[in-house]
Amino acid sequence: MIEKQQNILIIGAGLCGSLLALRLGQRGYNVMVMEKRPDLRKVKISAGRSINLAFSDRGIKAMKLVGIKDKVRELCIPMNGRMIHDKEGNTFMSNYSGRDHEYINSISRGGLNALLLDEAEEHENVAIHFNKKCKSVDFENTTARFSDYLTNDDFIEDADIIIATDGAGSALRQSYYMGKKFLFSFSQEYLTHGYKELSILPTKEGDYKTFKNALHIWPRGDFMVIALPNLDGSFTVTLFLSYDQGEYNFNNLTSPKIVEEFFKQEFPDALELMPNLIDDFFENPTAPLGTVKCSPWHYKGNTLLMGDSAHAIVPFYGQGMNASFEDVVVFDAVLDKDLENWEAIFETYQRNRKKDTDAIADLAIDNFHEMKDHVANPIFQEKRKLEMAFEKNFPVDYSSKYSLVTFNEDIGYREAMLRGRAQDKAILNLISDGEIELPLPDQKKRLRPILEKVIKETEAILEDDRIAGLK
């Protein structure tokens, strides 16, 4: 069993690092956190990087673990479904679930991070230092080199273990890779699309200019705009667009005239809500989107990667932060096992967790195509209607892939992926083979045989997967 007085150094006080510091502080460890940016509770950090996020049940489970679920609720705006906007300005709502209590939330990244920092600092065994950038980690000797942005001094910190929660560009991961001291596998795949944040400001009276309780999507096949509400009446809008493909792309949207022409043609109703479009467009950065996978996450019992540093994913399932929070829940459960040393803890953690973070990485790519394109496709819409009807009428017997991933925090992402994909395939096969008649019946008793067909077909597909070794 490991003594509690051990010194743990956490690199990065973002969402994952501040939650981890709070949990390890609660467990009695001596925790020191080093963050490269200034303290976001004291300094306004520039906009342009996912100001708000979709927060759902896996994240909520982590908040329950550390006892701050109710405080976090106050920062949340429920989003019951996707509000789809077509080119003519028509809208329709597609709920996330047929069960009323299942919805996702929009939450401010800064607000949530600040709360987690406050809660972590309540523990006298947790110290958080800002403006300290980690430059490299000596994973053999469990030390890390930092540069102090305020004094320009370099210094070295020693610890019993180091956990890096320093995001997609992790210094520890870089040290593993550059060190070439063990077999470290690493992949990074960029999408051809990048993103830019824009905004819909509140009305003069401070109200929302469009429906508050939805994640708005303007799907256009190869690109899309989404908008999530903020507590102050504004929406954070994100344009996802190719860097260089298609008639309009980030590389050719170089003048106010072309940007306005693009929005007028593709998103006229959004443009009406965004008189500030041009300022936002040219002030805010365009950033790439990528998936990072690597293995192993740890070196012996000395160092460990967690959160985006271990598994950065594209944002289309709204799960990156939720997965990073779930990392802390899984890690905490491994600590409960009282294993003999850190190496055994890190190994068990990776063995339990990696299959699930690999799965959500792949699901997030699938959802990129679903959001920008499939949501506007009639067969997809029929499938969603059927799933909503199943969830509403048979809440215990059916959960769609989206529900399995988002609202079923007690099953892993991999299980959600395998079952969810099999269900999708089953429904689409049955619709295209004419085995499900459209339009769907209204009465519950006529829906039951359809559900039974879908369950049977799903089981057959899962059995094929098992035989093929996928499960």
Ligand X SMILES: Cc1cc2nc3c(=O)[nH]c(=O)nc-3n(C[C@H](O)[C@H](O)[C@H](O)COP(=O)(O)OP(=O)(O)OC[C@H]3O[C@@H](n4cnc5c(N)ncnc54)[C@H](O)[C@@H]3O)c2cc1C
Binding site for ligand X (CB under 6 A): 11-17, 34-37, 50, 53-54, 133-134, 165-167, 169, 171, 195, 307-308, 315, 318-322, 324
Q: Which is nearer to ligand X, 148 or 373 (CB)?
A: 148
Q: Which is nearer to ligand X, 290 or 441 (CB)?
A: 290
Q: Which is nearer to ligand X, 226 or 426 (CB)?
A: 226
C-alpha distances (whole Å) from 167 to each of 220, 271, 315, 369 are 30, 33, 14, 25
Give the burial class of 63: count Cβ atoms within 10 A of its Cβ; 0-12 exposed, 13-18 middle, 19 or more buried.
Answer: buried
Vertex 145, ends 142 and 148: CA angle to 5°? 145
Q: Which is nearer to ligand X, 72 or 386 (CB)?
A: 72
Q: Which is nearer to ligand X, 25 or 320 (CB)?
A: 320
Gap between the terminal Cα atoms of the chain = 34
Quote the least distance from Cβ 167 to ligand X, whole Å: 3
Quote the least distance from Cβ 12 to ligand X, whole Å: 3
φ and ψ at residue 159, rounded to 5 degrees:
-155, 170
Which residue type is seen at 445? K
Q: Which is nearer to ligand X, 296 or 318 (CB)?
A: 318
How, if at all, do strands 224-229 and 235-242 pair? Answer: antiparallel
20 forms bridges with which residues in the sheet? none
295 forms bridges with which residues in the sheet? 185
DSSP letter, residue 317: G
CB 196 within 8 A of CB 285: yes
Q: Which is nearer to ligand X, 33 or 253 (CB)?
A: 33
Q: Which is nearer to ligand X, 114 or 344 (CB)?
A: 114
Quote the least distance from Cβ 264 to ligand X, whole Å: 25
Helix (H) or strand (E) holding 75: none
Cα separation, 30 vs 160, in Å, equals 10
Cα of 390 vs its chain's centroid, Å: 27
Residue nearest ligand X, Cβ-based: 14
Quote the least distance from Cβ 174 to ligand X, whole Å: 9
CB 115 within 8 A of CB 71: yes
- The residues, ordered by sequence, that sit 6+ positions from 444 with a Cβ below 8 Å of its Cβ are 393
Quote the least distance from Cβ 8 to ligand X, whole Å: 15
